Structure 1
Amino acid sequence: MSARVYEKQIAKEIEQMPKEYLSNLLKIVRLYRESVTLNPAEESFRQGWKEAMHDETYPIADLWAGIDAE
């Protein structure tokens, strides 16, 4: 299914929701979105961990080279 079809279905469900529950629905949607967006951070950590375990790292002095920290 295309994203547009899902958007229409979601909109239809929201329209059928009693108004007094909309704030709770919004909280659920936001929590879900936040939990989904955490996956890239986990993937990034796993990649960094893999690199560290395989000694694929850079000296800290090299990382700071050219950065004016003052």
Structure 2
Amino acid sequence: MTVEFELTYKKQLQAEIEATPGEYLPALLAIVRIYRQSVGLKPAAESFRQGWLETMSDQTLPLSELWLDFDAE
């Protein structure tokens, strides 16, 4: 993402925040935080640990099943 592109989004976000009534700012902040946490990547160690726990507790699917709903088009 270029710096100019990023600044455009930051300006748009700032304009939306400024246009939001004050009583809704706590809810908006909560939404932004939850969104950021949901899209952020987990650290590699945490991801590995989660995958290992799932594997050891037999929470896996056969590879053939993972491709059932995949549309290559």
Give the alignment's TM-score, normalised by structure 1: 0.54
Instruction: Show the counterpart of 1:16.
Output: 19
Moved over 3 A (4+): 39-42
1:26 equivalent to 2:29? Answer yes
Larger-gyration structure (1/2): 1
1:41 to partner: Cα distance: 4.8
CA deviation profile, 1:24-59 (whole Å, cap 9, x unmatched): 00000000000011x3458x54xx77xxxxxxxxxx
Q: Distance in 1 between matches of 2:42 and 2:25?
A: 29
Q: CA RMSD in A?
A: 2.7
Unaligned runs of 5+ in 2: 53-73
The amino acid across from 1:4 in the alignment is L
| TM-score normalised to structure 2 length | 0.52
- Residue type of the partner of 1:34? Q
State the number of aligned residues. 47
